[in-house]
Chains A and B, each alone.
Chain A
Amino acid sequence: MSVFSIEVGLAILGLFLLALEAFMPAITRRTLAAISMGGVAFAFLLFLLVNKSATQMPEFLQAYQQLDTLAIFYKGFSLLITFLVLWLTSQCAGYLSKYTVDGRLSEMFSLPLIVCAGMMWMAGAKDLVTVFVSLELVTVSFYVLVAFARKSALALEAGVKYLILGALSTGILVYGIAWVYGATGSLTFEGIAKALANPETVKLPVLLGAALLLAGLGFKVAAAPFQMWVPDVYQGAPIPVTTFLSVGSKAAGFVILTRVIDTFFIQGSLIASEVHGLLLVGGALTVLLGSLPAIFQTSVKRLLAYSSISHAGYLLLALSAHGSTRLDLSAGGVVAFYLATYLPMTVLGFLVLAILRINGGGEDVTDFRGLAKRSPLLAFVMTVALASLAGLPLTAGFMGKLFVFLGLVDQAAWGALAAAVVGAAAGFYYYFKTILAMYTSDASSSSQPLPLNLWTKVGAVALAISIVVLGVYPRPLQSMLMESPATASAAAH
């Protein structure tokens, strides 16, 4: 038994569920949800078990896949977010089915499994071809998921935008891969790194390839100046899909970026300083273009979309601190840490949004009015989530930002630091705006209590608790992400 068989199992289960409805039209949403959630939960358990014994991929895969600390972390992360998205989907099933042609939702329960398998492959990829194939597996599935609510014009608009821009970015990515291959003669990260450290390699084509590669990946993680599609797509897609895009797709993009950046920053690399500059400028720009427009948003869903952009900016800035050895975490480790803190707060935010939507509410800030009266529990957990997104201390969000700030100060990147501070300050305004709305109640706001089922309550409280725990006791997460001494010393040689 190896991790690989779990991944294959997931993909097969996804295909099986996709076909199931065709042969068994009478199958209920409940059963579908139970099978897919059960499958992911089972896979997660197996994954935890297998991790203890099998430390390597099977022999025939070792040329394409690695199983280092980051790969293991991102594989677990993918399983977790997929499970949460499926859970969110089953919560939203009632209202989602109104927007589909025949009221069926089987793709909503099967495609995420395939996405999950793709993300898990991506986490361990050792060469650009594996990266490309798994990335396409994820992206193509997302084309379907984004446009899933076919009766909604917004969803169609989002689907078309995502399709066109996604295809364009894929083209750019492949073009970049081709240039890198042409210039370095290799597709594996190891080979590229070797060529980059070799002073005889011609610099300009590599640089062009690297820039195109980063641009293509920039689309996927919503980095400026390729972030324009995000607000519209996030707003139009069904809430569970938006959550998946915002957390899963972003994590997938960043695991590749981490690998690519690790390669570009190899000791003696020809293009290290240029890439470093790109990351700093791109990161600072992304933070600003995410948080400043967010100030003017009236829809919470759009606001969370802009917030997602600005968090991508912080992640890019974290990657730029590659040379810093002051923290026990490598730059990639900080990125993984940040994403782990980002998961509970984003999922919680979208969960509250989904519950309002299910109960006939809208997605505007004004629809949050009176939430504290309608459901004190939801208002409280949403306060925790928003405080964490804003980066208040004692929440997970602050820990992540602290690492980014430490990295920036350490490399004396004052300009980027200033942008990060401005972004954080703007965050106070737009997140607090929603908090204030929740506790305000006036004549125009609804006052009927929100019915919550037990699982929603349990899930919401568990997410809120994990935000606080990660904020005050991050030590276990950090030690999980630290490279084991053996691999660290191997990397040093």
Chain B
Amino acid sequence: MSPLEIVILLPLLAALAIWLGAPARATSVGAAVVNLVITLGLVFSFKAASAGKAGFAFESARIVLDNPAITFGVGADGVALILTLLTALVTFAAVWQIGDDKPAIYHIASLLIAAGALGAFLSTDVFFLYAFHELALIPTFLMIGLYGHGEPEHRKAVAWKTTIYLGAGSLILLAGLVWLVLEFSGGGKLTFDLQALRAQAALTPLPIEKQAQIFFVLLLGFGTLVSLFPLHSWAAPAYATAPTPVAMLHSGVLKKFGLYGLLRIALPLLPQGAQVAWVQEALLFMLLGNILVMGLVTINQKRLDDVLANSSVMHMGYIFLGLAAGTEIALRGAVLLMFAHGISIALLFALAGRMRNQLGTLEFSKLGGLGEHAPAFTVLFAFGAFASIGLPGLANFAGELMVFVGSFMNYGSTSFGPLQWAVIVSLWGVVMSAVYMLRAYRSLFHGSAMSGLFMRDPALSQRLPLILLAAVLLIVGCCPWLLLNLIKSDLAAVVAP
């Protein structure tokens, strides 16, 4: 049994145990800690395990169906491992910070979402990659609909909107994947195995126009799940309404699935499709929508949860930019940025959740001077906020820089094409991030305290996961090669010749 299978199954088993009556907090935190330890072990042993291998490490495959060939196959390369580490870290923080007064379903839902994300990142079979992602659909729906913030009518509406967007997105995605599988199987046996599909793609690439069409369908499907403009309108209300652990896991981890899918399936199998002019221009248009439109929308928000939710949608634009460029540096930067954004947004949502619990409101106009009584809290928030802006020394900076540089150099071309223009325009997004984050920081923590609304620092045991996330931001920010060294040749193979 591969250790990766344990990593995927452990949260599922823990969720089942809690449902059968095991103590919720102890079980879920225990499972999260064990998973984190296993994942760290995998990260450290990855170099040895993958030595001399072209494909995945720690792989195993169990045949589920013969034709169409579907296997429950798991395996990790550098990209998958980085995202697994992200999932393990955020899951640990998310279940740790669930209060004792919350019902067990908080833990069950968090574990199911985590298991879905882990399964999707570690599967080497397109079928299971898709299937695991759907595991999170019902928990997300129920948690937003039942335990979300705001009026019952409002949260139900948000839950439906989220579910319908995600459901429709997955169906479009499924159509694209089925199309892909049928095209690549030639006249022979249908296969969903990623390695077999890759081999087929290298052997007999599809005609360019067909590649472009399939790529576009996949872009719409995956894009809906990542809240790509203009398919994004579900995301901000969902994150602002969702209970804290769900918001952390969904925006921090699960949303990366769509990007991961593009990187794992669409780009390697349809390398030329992504470079066809109309596809690339459409993608650039959409990602600039994310950065510029959502940036302006975020600046205009009046509550902290709305700012965080909208900023999370906005930051997806940079990662898409890295994918659109397709150079190795940009792709590595995109992966790093996925990790960094996941950690920073999870930290911010965890802090916002604490503030909401203590203060009962997150409106800027009602809050101020919180830093006076809660210095540790303020420092933690500063880590998250500054990372999110892209301050050098914190993880996001390295990722954004690599994306910008890598995109600007696009295939070493000397011409100044649409991609270069997009880089220039999207740099302004960084300014917008600074505007809304610094403004939020100032109006919440500085100035004079409002009457009766002040915060205390969290107890030491409650600080632990938050400090962990902040420390990761700092460590990866100062030494990004720790993660980047895990990505060996995986992304070089993705880059179009």
Contacts and interface: CB of A to CB of B under 8 A. Distances in A.
Nearest to A387: B138
B163 interface: yes
B68 to A, nearest CB: 7
Interface string B158-174: 01100110011001001
A328 B142 contact: no
A421 B175 contact: yes
Nearest to A329: B67
Interface stretch (A15-23, A111-119, A275-283, A433-441): A433-441
Interface stretch (B128-136, B230-238, B427-435): B128-136
Contact of B131 (A327, A393, A473, A475): A393
Interface string B127-154: 1001110110110011001100000000
A421 B171 contact: yes
Q: Is the interface of B mostly helix, strand, loop or mixed?
A: helix
Contacts of B146: 436, 439-440
Interface in B173-219: 174-175, 178-179, 181-182, 185, 190
A478 B130 contact: no
Interface of B: 19, 63-68, 72, 105, 127, 130-132, 134-135, 137-138, 141-142, 145-146, 156, 159-160, 163-164, 167-168, 171, 174-175, 178-179, 181-182, 185, 190
Nearest to B190: A326
Given A376-B19, A406-B190, A432-B141, A424 B134 contact: no
A43 interface: no
Contacts of A478: 65-66
Contacts of A328: 66-67
Nearest to A383: B138
Contact of B175 (A417, A439, A472, A474): A417
A87 interface: no
Given A392-B134, A409-B179, A439 B142 contact: yes
B141 A475 contact: no
Contacts of B130: 393
Contact of A394 (B131, B142, B164): B131
6 contacts: A393-B130, A405-B174, A406-B68, A406-B182, A472-B72, A479-B66
A473 B171 contact: no
A349 to B, nearest CB: 16
Interface size class of A (residues with CB under 8 A): 20 to 34
A472 B123 CA distance: 14
Nearest to B156: A436
Contacts of B163: 428, 432
B65 A326 contact: no
B366 to A, nearest CB: 30
B127 to A, nearest CB: 8
A343 to B, nearest CB: 19
Contact of A475 (B65, B135, B137, B174): B65
A392 B171 contact: no
Contacts of B65: 474-475, 478
B178 A380 contact: no
B182 A410 contact: yes
Contact of B164 (A326, A429, A439): A429
A392 B182 contact: no
Contacts of B66: 328, 475, 478-479
A133 interface: no
Contacts of B137: 392
Contacts of A398: 131
Given A327-B190, A328-B67, A405-B174, A436 B164 contact: no
B31 to A, nearest CB: 19
A425 interface: yes
A424 B172 CA distance: 11
Interface in A382-400: 383, 387, 392-394, 398
Given A328-B66, A474-B65, A394 B175 contact: no
Contacts of A436: 141-142, 145-146, 156, 159
